[in-house]
């Protein structure tokens, strides 16, 4: 790190000594139009939690506001363009979709527009992980690959490792003491389980399960499975003795642009790191260094909110998952570490045609537009008495303390699809301690080894329709919504126990409510 960056961060830290709802971390990616005082008061009324469960709330059937689309009963339900995309912008979505589906090949190749794969990779296209823009899944049996799942890897930072930009910033804000990590010196930041010809894959992903039973009220039991993950057959020597591995299943893609458009202040307003209100919930904002903007920003995307924008998340996935260089991550060798010399010496697909990268800035913008505008389907059966009863059970169990139902997005100039929409994502976008059962014991930025970003719940009831399975949580261990609930611990322990103890009819109604989202 240069002293120029260090001095700049010191000045930044002095300007923002603590994170509060008034502290702007920066939203330079959004063309903001300030809210009026009258709008703010109106938004507070509209987003207040309901206390009436006798009928659906106004506009509840359209969880993405005007961007909502009709719920299709086909695997294409998550692949529709936002309902309010102007006709002249639909072509951008369709071209972005083509790039999202593009199958990349190794360089050099006769198909120069598609070369540059790897040399190490997890998938050959975005679509291979996010099939039909839905959830990935852990491998099912020996014949199934882990193409929609991978292992992140890191090692503890040593005393000789200088602080990064974001570590300096966080140390100035939060004080020293947070665990510091670095990519594995050989295997980098994630394990790539595929490689182009002539190169060894980094490892073979392996998972095994231990079954156990959890009793519920009324004599009901639920079978659960506890996973163990292994990076087997390492291709570049043994893993570091202190290596920390974290499994990640590809999440669904819908509604990302709307999550990006939630005002930062509205997210920070729900931070309560010291549990000042005594409710047992102490959400924290993730803060990350933006490669694109060169400043600290609120983390929003990824299972630990490690990326600040849809564009940066997309660019990082191109580089790490497929090995495709781009304006934000320009290395032609993707994620090959300095220790993997043959990998770094392999031919790449960088070309003048694509601005010197393997995917150009214009093409990356089109993929970003596509990813921002994958539409959220309408709710189903929301006026069904069992669904309404389940909604009440969800609120009374205090699930809404983290899965916050409603926000209103920024007013945005030139971005009509996400501008000023009442949305129902059921997330607070904050990090929460989920207890030892879900811990990956791998810090990431501000998140410790037990913390995860609250997952949005919109569309969760259509998982089987879109993805053909019902695997949930960050690693797909839960085979049903009830299993997913029962894995909650830490800050969610009390809410989980309320679900365990409630009458079976209320639990069944709670699941019906989740299936309607």
Per-residue model confidence (pLDDT) at position 23: 43
Neighbouring C-beta atoms of residue 345, cutoff 10 Å:
11
Q: If 0-12 CB within 10 Å is exposed, 13-18 middle and 19+ buried, where does residue 232 land?
A: exposed
Task: Kindly state the percentage of the chain with pLDDT values over 70.
Answer: 94
Tens-place pLDDT, residues 173-188: 888 777 889 999 999 9
Q: How confident is the model at residue 33 (pLDDT cuts 50, 70, 90)?
A: confident
β-pair type (190-191, 149-156): antiparallel
How many domains are there within the chain? 1
Tens-place pLDDT, residues 268-294: 999 999 889 899 999 999 999 999 999
Report residue 165: phi and psi, to 5°. -55, -50
Per-residue model confidence (pLDDT) at position 414: 86
Tell me the CA distances in angstroms from 335 to 201, 320, 395, one per residue in order. Answer: 12, 5, 43
Tens-place pLDDT, residues 339-383: 999 999 999 999 999 999 999 999 999 999 999 999 999 999 999
Per-residue model confidence (pLDDT) at position 1: 29
d(CA 301, CA 314): 10
Indicate whether 324 pLDDT > 50. Answer: yes
For residue 463, give its domain range. Answer: 3-516
Cβ neighbours of residue 436 closer than 8 Å, sequence gap 6 or more: 450, 489, 490
Task: Record the pTM.
Answer: 0.92
Tens-place pLDDT, residues 246-267: 999 999 999 999 999 999 999 9
d(CA 516, CA 511): 9
Tens-place pLDDT, residues 86-107: 999 999 999 999 999 999 999 9
Per-residue model confidence (pLDDT) at position 31: 76
d(CA 287, CA 167): 10
CA 165, 167, 168, 172 torsion-angle sign: positive
Tell me the CA distances in angstroms from 272 to 133, 280, 508, 514, one per residue in order. Answer: 33, 10, 32, 26
Indicate whether 13 pLDDT > 70. Answer: no
Per-residue model confidence (pLDDT) at position 367: 98
Per-residue model confidence (pLDDT) at position 175: 82
d(CA 295, CA 28): 10
């Amino acid at each position: 790190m240069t002293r120029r960056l260090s001095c700049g961060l010191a000045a930044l830290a002095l300007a923002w000594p603590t994170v509060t709802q008034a502290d702007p971390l920066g939203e330079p990616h959004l063309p903001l139009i300030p809210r009026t005082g009258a709008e703010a008061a109106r938004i507070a009324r509209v987003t207040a939690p309901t206390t009436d469960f006798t009928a659906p709330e106004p506009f509840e059937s359209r969880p993405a506001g005007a961007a909502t689309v009709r719920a299709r009963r086909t695997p294409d339900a998550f692949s529709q363009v936002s309902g309010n995309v102007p006709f002249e912008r639909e072509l951008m979505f369709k071209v972005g979709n083509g790039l999202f589906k593009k199958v990349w090949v190794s360089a050099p190749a006769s198909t120069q527009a598609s070369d540059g794969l790897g040399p190490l990779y997890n998938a050959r296209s975005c679509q291979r992980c996010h099939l039909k823009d839905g959830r990935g899944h852990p491998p099912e049996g020996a014949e199934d690959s882990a193409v929609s799942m991978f292992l992140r890897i890191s090692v503890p930072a040593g005393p000789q490792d200088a602080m990064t930009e974001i570590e300096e910033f966080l140390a100035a804000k939060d004080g020293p003491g947070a665990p510091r990590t670095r990519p594995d010196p050989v295997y980098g930041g994630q394990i790539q389980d595929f490689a182009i010809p002539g190169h060894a894959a980094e490892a073979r992903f392996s998972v095994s399960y231990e079954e156990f039973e959890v009793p519920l009220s009324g004599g009901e039991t639920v079978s659960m499975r506890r996973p163990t993950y292994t990076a087997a057959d390492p291709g570049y020597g043994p893993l570091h003795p202190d290596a920390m591995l974290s499994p990640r299943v590809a999440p669904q893609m819908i509604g990302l642009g709307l999550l990006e458009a939630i005002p930062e202040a509205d997210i920070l307003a729900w931070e309560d790191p010291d549990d000042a209100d005594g409710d047992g919930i102490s959400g924290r904002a993730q803060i990350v260094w933006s490669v694109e903007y060169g400043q600290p920003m609120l983390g929003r995307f990824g299972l630990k909110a490690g990326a600040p924008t849809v564009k940066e998340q997309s660019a990082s996935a191109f580089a790490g998952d497929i090995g495709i260089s781009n304006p934000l991550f320009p290395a032609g060798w993707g994620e090959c570490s300095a220790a993997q010399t043959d990998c770094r010496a392999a031919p790449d697909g960088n070309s003048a045609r694509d601005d010197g990268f393997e995917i150009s800035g214009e093409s990356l913008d089109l993929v970003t537009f596509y990813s921002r505008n994958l539409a959220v389907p309408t709710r189903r059966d929301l006026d069904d008495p069992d669904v309404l009863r389940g909604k009440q059970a969800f609120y009374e169990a205090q699930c809404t303390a983290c899965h916050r139902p409603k926000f209103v997005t920024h007013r945005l100039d030139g971005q009509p699809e996400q501008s000023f929409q009442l949305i129902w994502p059921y997330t607070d976008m904050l990090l929460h301690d989920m207890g030892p059962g879900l811990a990956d014991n791998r810090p990431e930025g501000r998140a410790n080894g037990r913390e995860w970003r609250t997952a949005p719940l919109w569309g969760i009831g259509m998982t089987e329709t879109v993805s053909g399975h019902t695997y949930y949580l960050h690693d797909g261990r839960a085979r049903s919504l009830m299993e997913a609930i029962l894995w909650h611990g830490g800050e969610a322990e009390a809410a989980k126990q309320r679900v365990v103890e409630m009458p079976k009819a209320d639990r069944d109604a709670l699941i019906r409510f989740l299936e309607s989202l």
